[in-house]
Amino acid sequence: MARDGDGGQSGKGATGTTPILKDRYAIFPDNPLPDLDTPNATAFAAEDRRQRGRPLFALVVTGPLPPRVQVMQQLRGLRTAGLMALVEWGYIEWAPADAVRVVLIYEQPMGGRVMKSLSDTITPISDQQFVKSLLRPLCMALGELQNHGIGHRAVRPTNLFYSDASGGRIVLGDCATGPVAIDQPVVCETIESGMCTPAGRGLGVYADDFYALGVCAVMLLIGRNPLAGVSDHDILTQKLHHGTYATLVSDVRLPLGMIEIVRGLLADDVDQRWDFEQTDLWFNGRRMSPVQAKPVRRAQRAFVFMNQEFFLPRNLAHAMANNWDKAVPVVLEGKLEIWLRRGLENNQLADHITMAIRNAAAVGEKNKAAFQDTALANVLIVLDPAAPIRYRDFRAHVDGFGGVLSAQVALGKDTRLVTEAILRDLPKMWLGMREKFSPEMIQMTSNFRELRDYLQDPFKKGAGLERCLYELNESQRCLSPLLARDIVLDIRDLLPALDRTASRVDSKTEPLDRHIVAFVAARYPKDIAPQLAALNEDDTKRATLGMLSLLAVLQWRLGPEALHGLCGWMGALMGPIINSYHSRARRRTLEQEIPRLVRKGSLPELYNFVDSADERRADFDEFQRARAEWAVAQQNIRHLESGQVGADENAERTGQRLAATGSVSVAIVTVAVVLLGYMF
């Protein structure tokens, strides 16, 4: 079972069919509360067994997308005006899915949603009541979240609730059951965030929540969505041409006393947008000068694209991104550069365009399509540096790559565009166009360089798409099919989950697939390069040893003390290692001793036994001696078979006789010479 934020084991307990969280909070699967559902979670009635009668409800994450677990850890127990209180969270055995699920226990808002959909019409809230019951509490909540380092990123009219039946106070709803900002409507997102695919928006900045609050303010003050029925594309286009405030308010009348704060919250320039400090000053009676939009340099003559005239590079970039194939020849033929120099009179921007195309040539020099797509993506970054990275249908900020990849994998969709954007160094191009330097940019550039290296070796365990998935998403559970019933977010929960899995799988299945290896490589803080190298060996014995070594290291460093199921699983896979020994006696010993070690549940002991350095050396030495003896025996056999043994013995005897005769002759001659010397 996965662990909660404090490291404690979450409760699986159940009385009958009622799951119990942390031995305290009962969740009732037969009592759903559909009015409180979120897009990625289902609401059910809940009860505090220690404080019966307390109004609570549970959100069980039943959707495929990963929740924001780190946010849950910070929100638990946080109480502030304007925020629906998260009482507890954790993991439960969820019988309807026969799997473990994340569950969040919230205080139940008794008045229901403020707006059930963005097409609803409600009674407008008066400006006096609006400031007291909605605007100030919500600003306080966003300020408190900012103090805790949390971006809510789910501020929208359909996620606002009346906390009491009388409708006297409004609170922000859940922001943790799904990926960041993925459920936000385009109308509630800034221009830059609205350009992204929902999963690619990233965390953004705290000011994005205040922008969304400004949108909510307009809708609740007039009782409807002024852009209801307008497509997302048209909303973005209107915001780009006229600004957010004019787009939302042009056809409606706001109370005079609310115009200043709404205009401040809806400022498209993040540096001019009001945050908690400025709204707090306004609540306390200080009136500030109206927000003045920075003048934008317009071209003296229009650039015609798709039969439309464009005077601003940003608007042109948006149109090109939405008409990709039509924009490629316009960029590569040099028409854009000429317009920038002559129409906009911006030689520096034109030079950047030239450099962007040159950089693309280095990436896609052998692939025309790759070059064209990369060139246009780079040019769009130059034309509108504040916009997300746009690469064909891919749209994401640099901190939203992980969200897109996670969503595509979870939903079984194509991930090709995400990987191509990384391989073609688009994040590096985007970071290089930042006006303000930040140390984080160096770290992000390094991170994307590593991701690029992983993608260039896609078939290696511990690399490829899976490694990128876990490196980019801290809240991503391990997606191995072996762990489908469990939620493994923390590296410490991996081995216990595999231990439970051992009883449900074929013993011939390897316990380390691509997802698990990538998860370990991304989450384990120490060096495991030798184990990963062995895992990827073609030799079955080396690969099995690498697998056992990696699991042994994890148990040695992280525990638990005994893993009987996983040890038995690995014991059944020791055949290649046993057969790698030459001595039959040693093989028999290994086969007899492995079951004993398996019963102890210690992977380090199992590894040390099957790959003992002393035993390996002794086995090698004995094998070499045996080979030498075998070679001599084989030679003797060949001699016997060819009749060379008798001939060799006769030759040896003849040689001995000749040697004896020669020796005697030499001795006689020597004596004769000596005697003659005396005589003469």
The per-residue pLDDT for range 255-284, each reduced to its tens digit, is: 888 999 999 999 999 999 999 999 999 988
Rounded to whole angstroms, the Cα distance separating 8 from 563 reads: 19
Q: What angle do CA 438, 440, 444 make, to 5 degrees?
A: 130
Looking from the CA of 20 toward its CB, the CA atoms found within 13 Å total 11
Rounded to whole angstroms, the Cα distance separating 500 from 490 reads: 16
Please indicate, yes or no, whether residues 91 and 136 belong to a single structural domain of this protein: no
Q: How confident is the model at residue 293 (pLDDT cuts 50, 70, 90)?
A: low
Please indicate, yes or no, whether residues 482 and 435 belong to a single structural domain of this protein: no
How would DSSP label each residue in 130-152? Answer: HIIIIIHHHHHHHHHHHHTT---
Domain enclosing residue 168, as ranges:
127-283
* pLDDT > 90? residue 483: yes
Token pair belonging to 107: 């205080």
Rounded to whole angstroms, the Cα distance separating 210 from 216 reads: 10
Last residue of a domain, one of 283, 313, 348: 283
In a domain, 4, yes or no: no
Overall size of the chain counted in residues: 680
Q: How confident is the model at residue 606 (pLDDT cuts 50, 70, 90)?
A: very high
Please indicate, yes or no, whether residues 454 and 485 belong to a single structural domain of this protein: no
Residue 560, preceding peptide bond in cis (omega within 30° of 0): yes
Rounded to whole angstroms, the Cα distance separating 390 from 556 reads: 45
Rounded to whole angstroms, the Cα distance separating 274 from 279 reads: 6
Residue pair 160/114 in contact by the 8 Å Cβ criterion: yes
* pLDDT > 60? residue 10: no
Question: Which residue, among 308, 42, 296, has the nearest Cα to 177 in the 3D structure?
Answer: 42
Share of the chain above pLDDT 90, in %: 70
Rounded to whole angstroms, the Cα distance separating 671 from 283 reads: 136
User: Where is pLDDT greater, at 237 or 440?
Assistant: 237
CATH of the domain at 151: 1.10.510.10
Tally of domains within the chain: 4
Please give the average per-residue pLDDT across 560-574, as a whole number: 94
Instruction: Please give the C-alpha separations between residue 279 and each of 49, 136, 143, 170, 413, in angstroms, as whole numbers.
Output: 41, 8, 10, 18, 42
Last residue of a domain, one of 586, 611, 636: 611
pTM of the model: 0.87
Rounded to whole angstroms, the Cα distance separating 491 from 603 reads: 17
* pLDDT > 50? residue 4: no
Please indicate, yes or no, whether residues 351 and 435 belong to a single structural domain of this protein: yes
Question: Which residue, among 155, 311, 185, has the nearest Cα to 240 in the 3D structure?
Answer: 311
Please give the average per-residue pLDDT across 659-676, as a whole number: 66
Rounded to whole angstroms, the Cα distance separating 220 from 226 reads: 10
Q: Is 161 left (phi over 0), alpha (psi -120 to 50) or beta?
A: beta
In a domain, 637, yes or no: no
Q: What angle do CA 182, 187, 188 make, to 5 degrees?
A: 60
Mean of all residue pLDDT scores within the chain: 89
* pLDDT > 50? residue 3: no
Last residue of a domain, one of 470, 495, 528: 470
Residue 291, pLDDT score = 57
CATH of the domain at 56: 3.30.200.20
